[in-house]
Amino acid sequence: MNKSKLMLGLSLLLGTLASCGPKLSVSVSYDSEDALSTFAYTNIENAVKAKGGKINAKGTYSISFKEVDPTLGEQVYKIEVIDKTISITAGDKTGLMYGGLDVAETIEMYGIDKVENKNVSPDMEYRGLKFNIPLDMRTPSYTDGGDSGQNNIPVMWDIDFWKQEFDLMALNRYNALSIWSLNPFASMVKVPGYEDCALDDVWRTKLYFDSSYNGTASDLVRDEHWQEGNYEVVKTITIDEKIAFWKDVMSLAHGRGIKFYMYTWNVYTFAENGKYGITCDQDNPTTKDYYRKAVEAFVDTYPDLDGFGIGAGENMKIPSTAGGNAGSVGYGDEENEHWLHDTYGEGIKTSLTKTPNRDFEVIHRMHFADGKSLANIWGDLPCKFNLSDKYATAHMYASEEPHLIDPSLDGMVDGQKLWLELRNDDSFHLRYGGADFARALITKMPVNKGIKGFLMGSDGYVQGKAFDSALPDFKGQLYMGKHWYNYMLFGRIAYQNDLSNQFFNDKLAAHYKDMARSDVDNLFNAMNSAGNILPNANMLFYVNGDSWYPEGNWTNSNTFGYVGIKRLVTAKSEHPYGNVHSIPEYCTLLETNRTPSKRTPIDIINNLNAGAKGVDDLASSLKAAAGKNAEFDQMVLDQIAFSNLGKYYALKYEAAIALRLYNDLKDTSKKAESVAKATEASNTWKAYANDMVARFGDAERLSRAGIYSFSNVTAEVEKDISVCEKWAPRDL
């Protein structure tokens, strides 16, 4: 017999014998009445089945969920392995679920023999999501003026969406959800004495949100919205059915170990306006009475509500000493704060007297406020009172260690804790996957200074379902499902700081089982490299607010629209905590032969190019793997898009440096250099924009950055070439 045929026959025989061998058999002991343990069990069962095994009462392996041991602490779990017996002990039911999910994950990724002894406790107490919730045309959130807000109105009333959302949150170790509304009361509760304010059905406007709408959302519902023919009913439902729905949603959250918070802005009365004499005027006694009773009814109606988040804005009176960043100034006019206390505070107090042992929390945003003033006014609450503030304003993909909350930390009093609002208004479409940056951002948070946790989300995009794809197969998927790797990074690292890059690489391999391991490794490295691009782009041009949209190279048209090269040449626009010289500063240092005291724009440009090169070096092999998994292919294309975006910003910054040097030194070679770099930047941007249009479409409405179009921005990018060509030296 031919040797190769002999080897083939031996291989087939060994394969047959192996398939006839004992299969994985596992017995699991758990509390089937507990939703959290049941969820963990289901994941263990799925992992065992994926390995070709089965759950059996007399399994070779046994897994047991032990009784809760409160001495271990909340969310803490311990896994003990003796021979083939695996025991999970925890400090509470959430910890027990996390322990079970850990075991399931290990079985799926490495096999049951790799489950080992471990003790795990949370490095950050709460890992949460911030969700601007588009409930109804008549009770909007800040984000309803964008396409994502309008598209997601029906989604918010779909119980299957919330089931999937909470499952993914638990798997990624998120344990808090905050939903944010300008005023949710008419859509979620019946208020005694104001029953006619409660809304049946769910409405959506047919009108277009153009650039004329106010940035404070005070005119988000206009008179014409109410006219028949200008709205549609997207769901027929009574207010009683709505209440039952949201009770179910909150119960589902608790069944995954997730606390549920309601946040509001103030004072907005779109649905109630004119009824019973209610207006948005905070001096109106009827409005004040309505709010107090609405808050009381809300807390009464939802026993699974864990807390209320409130703030003095954006439709309240502006404090007389307002200025600077919210949270960085003392509260000037206490009138607003007393109004909030007399409505929210008194409503919550009255409700809690009926259930005095209820665990409840009030979270006050540091918006025109400071901790000491708040402690004096709110000190009579019979519940926890904590604060929240924007950690990196609207741009979490910027500095690894922003110090924007330092004034808030300094102003806190003993006993107060601070929730960090971790805002992503940097990138909505591209799938971010920078493990190194995510770890640095999370682990450098000042947890030891009274940080309770973070709430991660966006003001510019509703992260419910993603309707952004121009590709039918990806339209309407869960936003968290589309960006699963991103959410996993931040949730898992915040819970367990020491998770390695190898772990996340292995998670990718487990997710993309049909891909070769070398392709998965390349994708991990490409994502990690691309993860440095947005943070570095934000170093040399940064807007301390939510109108700046770096994924689109754009600010809201009411700010200044496209960020032209002239602005980079003339303005100090660097990140305040990026430890970097602005382009004008750097050029002055060069011209005067002085030594830089910070990082230079060249350092940032080199970082951008290095991030892009890390993707480009792997792009050919990643493209060669295309066709096996459609989602994998899209992940690859996203990293290539990040690379083009990084190269564009690097070239644009180089063009700006050359143009500034030409302006100051009148060296015509620098002018030629600026033209060449601007031309190259334009070509690179076109490659990026063409890909984005093909996969996500050209134009969309963003709630904070406004009406956006890639083709319009491309035209603006081309104008930078003319700016360089026509530039004449002048005083700057």
- Dump pLDDT digits (tens) for 521-538: 999 999 999 999 999 999
Q: Which of 576, 662, 572, 649 is nearest to 404 (CA)?
A: 576
What distances in angstroms separate CA 300 from CA 163, 268, 286, 351, one per listed residue? 24, 22, 21, 6
Same domain, 547 and 443: no
Of the two residues 202 and 373, the one the predictor is more confident about is: 202
State the pLDDT at residue 88. 98
3-class DSSP string for 167-191: HHHHHCCCCEEEEEECCCHHHHCCC
State the pLDDT at residue 22. 67
Bridge partners, 709 (sequence order) = 699
State the pLDDT at residue 12. 39
pTM of the model: 0.95
| Rounded (10°) CA dihedral 236, 241, 245, 248 | -150
Measured N-to-C along each axis, helices 484-495 and 435-443 cross at an angle, to the nearest 10 degrees, of 40
Q: How many domains does the chain have?
A: 3
Asked if the structure places residue 4 within a domain, the reply is: no
Asked if the structure places residue 8 within a domain, the reply is: no
Beta-sheet pairing, 384-390 with 418-423:
parallel
In this prediction, residue 126 has a pLDDT band, given cuts at 50, 70 and 90, of very high
Q: Domain containing 86 — which CATH number?
A: 3.30.379.10
Same domain, 114 and 134: no
CB contact at 8 A, 680 and 686? no
Asked if the structure places residue 488 within a domain, the reply is: yes
Rounded Cα distance between 199 and 178, Å, is 22
- Label residue 237 exposed, middle or buried (CB < 10 Å: 0-12, 13-18, 19+): middle
Which residue among 515, 545, 564 closes a domain? 515
Same domain, 354 and 258: yes
Q: Which of 121, 127, 105, 125 is nearest to 174 (CA)?
A: 127
Rounded Cα distance between 457 and 67, Å, is 35
In this prediction, residue 333 has a pLDDT band, given cuts at 50, 70 and 90, of low
Q: Report the amino acid identity of residue 160.
A: D
Rounded Cα distance between 88 and 458, Å, is 36
Rounded Cα distance between 331 and 334, Å, is 7
Average pLDDT score, the chain? 94
Rounded Cα distance between 160 and 157, Å, is 9
Q: Report the amino acid identity of residue 51.
A: K
Rounded Cα distance between 712 and 706, Å, is 13
Q: What mean pLDDT do residues 572-601 have?
A: 96
Q: What mean pLDDT do residues 359-366 have?
A: 96
Residue 9 pLDDT exceeds 60:
no
Asked if the structure places residue 291 within a domain, the reply is: yes
- Dump pLDDT digits (tens) for 148-174: 999 999 999 999 999 999 999 999 999
The DSSP H or E segment spanning 665 is helix 630-665
Asked if the structure places residue 6 within a domain, the reply is: no
Same domain, 338 and 380: yes
In this prediction, residue 620 has a pLDDT band, given cuts at 50, 70 and 90, of very high
Beta-sheet pairing, 54-55 with 25-29:
parallel
Residue 109: domain span: 22-120
Beta-sheet pairing, 554-555 with 548-549:
antiparallel
Same domain, 590 and 505: no
Same domain, 352 and 496: yes
Residue 487: phi and psi, rounded to 5, are -60, -35
Q: Which two tokens stand for residue 403?
A: 């110090």
| Rounded (10°) CA dihedral 620, 621, 627, 633 | -70
The DSSP H or E segment spanning 148 is helix 147-151
Same domain, 504 and 642: no
State the pLDDT at residue 545. 85
307: three-class secondary structure by DSSP? strand
Residue 323 pLDDT exceeds 80:
no
Sign of CA dihedral 686, 688, 694, 697: negative
Q: What mean pLDDT do residues 35-61 have?
A: 96
Q: Which of 533, 551, 680 is nearest to 612 (CA)?
A: 533
Same domain, 151 and 188: yes
Same domain, 451 and 600: no
Rounded Cα distance between 105 and 116, Å, is 12
Same domain, 242 and 171: yes
Asked if the structure places residue 37 within a domain, the reply is: yes
Q: Which of 222, 184, 226, 230 is nearest to 206 (CA)?
A: 230
Lowest-pLDDT range, 219-228, 334-343, 711-720?
Answer: 334-343
- Dump pLDDT digits (tens) for 80-93: 999 999 999 999 99
Q: Domain containing 314 — which CATH number?
A: 3.20.20
State the pLDDT at residue 447. 95
Asked if the structure places residue 410 within a domain, the reply is: yes
State the pLDDT at residue 313. 81
Which residue among 77, 97, 120 closes a domain? 120
State the pLDDT at residue 414. 85
CB contact at 8 A, 340 and 362? no
DSSP-derived letter for residue 382 is S
- Dump pLDDT digits (tens) for 48-60: 999 999 999 999 9
Rounded Cα distance between 277 and 91, Å, is 51
Same domain, 39 and 139: no
Residue 8 pLDDT exceeds 80:
no
CB contact at 8 A, 589 and 508? no
DSSP-derived letter for residue 136 is B
Length of the chain: 732
In this prediction, residue 319 has a pLDDT band, given cuts at 50, 70 and 90, of low
Rounded Cα distance between 675 and 727, Å, is 10
State the pLDDT at residue 32. 96
Q: What mean pLDDT do residues 443-462 have?
A: 96
Asked if the structure places residue 9 within a domain, the reply is: no
Residue 635 pLDDT exceeds 80:
yes
Q: What mean pLDDT do residues 625-636 have?
A: 97
Residues 6+ apart with CB under 8 A from 383: 348, 352, 358, 359, 360, 361, 362
State the pLDDT at residue 83. 96
Q: What mean pLDDT do residues 689-696 have?
A: 98
State the pLDDT at residue 268. 97
Give one DSSP letter per residue of 228-266, joined into a string: TTSEEEEE---HHHHHHHHHHHHHHHHTTT-EEEEEE-B
Could you tell me what percent of the chain has a pLDDT over 70? 95
Q: What mean pLDDT do residues 427-455 have?
A: 97
Which residue among 515, 542, 563 closes a domain? 515
Of the two residues 320 and 508, the one the predictor is more confident about is: 508
State the pLDDT at residue 2. 46
Same domain, 535 and 509: no
Rounded Cα distance between 523 and 632, Å, is 9
